[in-house]
Amino acid sequence: MEIKVYNIDGNDTGRTIDVSDSLLGVEPNDHAIWLDVKQYLANQRQGTHKSKERSEIAGSTKKLKRQKGTGGARAGDAKSPTRVGGGRAFGPKPRDYSFKLNKKVKRLARHSALSYKVKEEKLIVVEDFTFDTPKTKNMMKVLGDLKLGEKKSLFVLNNQDNFVILSARNIECISITDARSVNTYDLLRANSVIFSETAIKELESLSSNS
Whole-number Å distance between alpha carbons of 63 and 66: 7
Asked if 137 and 160 sit in the same domain, the reply is yes
Asked if 16 and 81 sit in the same domain, the reply is no
Residues of the chain with pLDDT under 70: 210
Q: Is the whole-model pTM more than 0.85?
A: no
Which range marks the domain in which residue 31 is found? 2-46+100-209
Asked if 156 and 205 sit in the same domain, the reply is yes
Final residue before a domain boundary, out of 67, 91, 115: 91
- Is 191 inside any structural domain? yes
Environment class of 180 (CB within 10 Å of its CB; exposed 0-12, middle 13-18, buried 19+): exposed
Q: What is the CATH number of the domain that holds 109?
A: 3.40.1370.10
Q: Which residue in 157, 115, 126 sits closest to 22, CA to CA? A: 115
Q: How many CB atoms lie within 10 A of CB 202?
A: 19
Q: What was the pLDDT predicted at 161? A: 79
Question: pLDDT for 41-55, tens place per residue?
Answer: 999 999 999 999 999
Q: How far is residue 173 CA from its own chain's centroid?
A: 14
